[in-house]
Amino acid sequence: MKKGKVCVFGSFNLDIVAGMSHFPQPGESVIARNSMMGAGGKGGNQAMAALRAGARVHYIGKVGRDDFGSFARRHLDNAGFDAVTLFSTAEYPTGNALIYVAGNDAQNMIAVDPGANLTVSDEEVEQCRPAIAAADLLLTQLENNLSAVEKVIAIATEAETYIVLNPAPFQKIPDALLAQIDLLTPNAHECTLLTGITVNDISSAQRAAEQLHLKGVKAVVVTLGAQGALLSASGQTELVPACPAQPKDNTGVRDAFNGALASQLAGGYSLLQAATFASAYAALCAEREGAAASMPTYLQALARLEAFKTVH
């Protein structure tokens, strides 16, 4: 497989995760069955997924000059990225997320303090121009200040780097930004907020995707959980079935999907091939605890995909 070059601009958070039998009610203290601290943030998670799924990755992010920031630097320096550009500020803390995981389906509740992630300046983004221009694909999200996301995307547009935007967590984005996106990857909730169409099944996702195309988005992948992922591009739609999983922790599962998708697209695979692989990759991530630490390798995901295909 060709190792494509992926540039990921996005958040780094220090995640503190507690696994519990049920989510606490207001005023209730619940004894957790376990807890862990690890690397997270949608940008860092997606970069790790793209890397382990087979891409060469340049990660760009920003942290505080604090202990969590030192943790971030150690984690990122040891991950195996081609390059890391990590800006820092003494004025804001490193982003952090307090995460509860509970229930048979291992769903989560997350409180994020984005801290330094929201302070990326135009000058800092400008320093990243060569990295963005050198990549086959730019992957970014909405967990940073919108001004930085807009500038990163403007640079990628000028450089003709393929742009993937995962619009999570949702923030309002101008149509002018959407018009520059090659591939948008909302979930049902984000798709509803982006289009005003209530997305809860395949046909509503299809209608919402059509509206996003009218705004200039070239391709759309709507992730619909157990219903799979709807792909819409070049006047055609396809449904990629969800790969079944025995979930332990759903934190970072969509990041796994997005990172794996990006790695396969940058490696030259079609959108359908990339999304099919990403679905198996995300299933494996759900079966592991933690976010960045739970990203499987390319070969592990390939084995899961083959096993899934054999059964279906």
Catalytic residues: 255
Among residues 238 and 289, whose Cβ is nearest to ligand RIB?
289
CB neighbour list of residue 209: distance below 8 Å, 6 or more residues apart: 191, 220, 222, 230, 232, 237
In whole angstroms, how far apart are CA 131 and each of 86, 111, 166, 264?
Answer: 13, 31, 20, 19
In whole angstroms, how far apart are CA 177 and each of 51, 207, 240, 300?
Answer: 27, 20, 27, 36
Chosen residue from 47, 112, 155, 275 binding ligand RIB by CB under 6 A: 112
State the nearest-atom distance from the C-beta of 109 to ligand RIB, in Å.
11
Q: Is residue 288 part of the contact set for ligand RIB (CB under 6 A)?
A: no
CB neighbour list of residue 141: distance below 8 Å, 6 or more residues apart: 10, 11, 42, 43, 46, 149, 165, 166, 167, 168, 258
State the nearest-atom distance from the C-beta of 286 to ligand RIB, in Å.
12
Rounded to whole angstroms, the Cα distance separating 197 from 280 reads 28
Chosen residue from 229, 256, 291, 301 binding ligand RIB by CB under 6 A: 291
Chosen residue from 54, 186, 252, 267 binding ligand RIB by CB under 6 A: 252
Encoded tokens for 61? 């992010």
Chosen residue from 144, 161, 251, 258 binding ligand RIB by CB under 6 A: 251
Chosen residue from 4, 5, 42, 212 binding ligand RIB by CB under 6 A: 42
Annotate each residue in 138-157 with x if it binds ligand RIB (CB under 6 A) or - if it does not, as one string: -----x--------------
Query: β-pairing, 95-102 with 13-20?
Result: parallel
Chosen residue from 7, 8, 19, 45 binding ligand RIB by CB under 6 A: 45
Stretch that binds ligand RIB, among 76-84, 171-179, 204-212, 250-258 (CB under 6 A): 250-258
- Nearest residue to ligand RIB by CB is 40
Q: Site size for ligand RIB, by CB under 6 A?
A: 14
Annotate each residue in 77-106 with x if it binds ligand RIB (CB under 6 A) or - if it does not, as one string: --------------------x---------
Q: How far apart are the first and last CA of the chain?
A: 25
State the nearest-atom distance from the C-beta of 125 to ligand RIB, in Å.
20
The CA radius of gyration of the chain, in Å to the nearest whole number, is: 18
Sign, CA dihedral 185-187-189-195, equals positive
> Cβ distance 224 to 187 under 8 Å?
yes
State the nearest-atom distance from the C-beta of 143 to ligand RIB, in Å.
6
Rounded to whole angstroms, the Cα distance separating 290 from 150 reads 29
Stretch that binds ligand RIB, among 40-48, 61-69, 175-183, 204-212 (CB under 6 A): 40-48
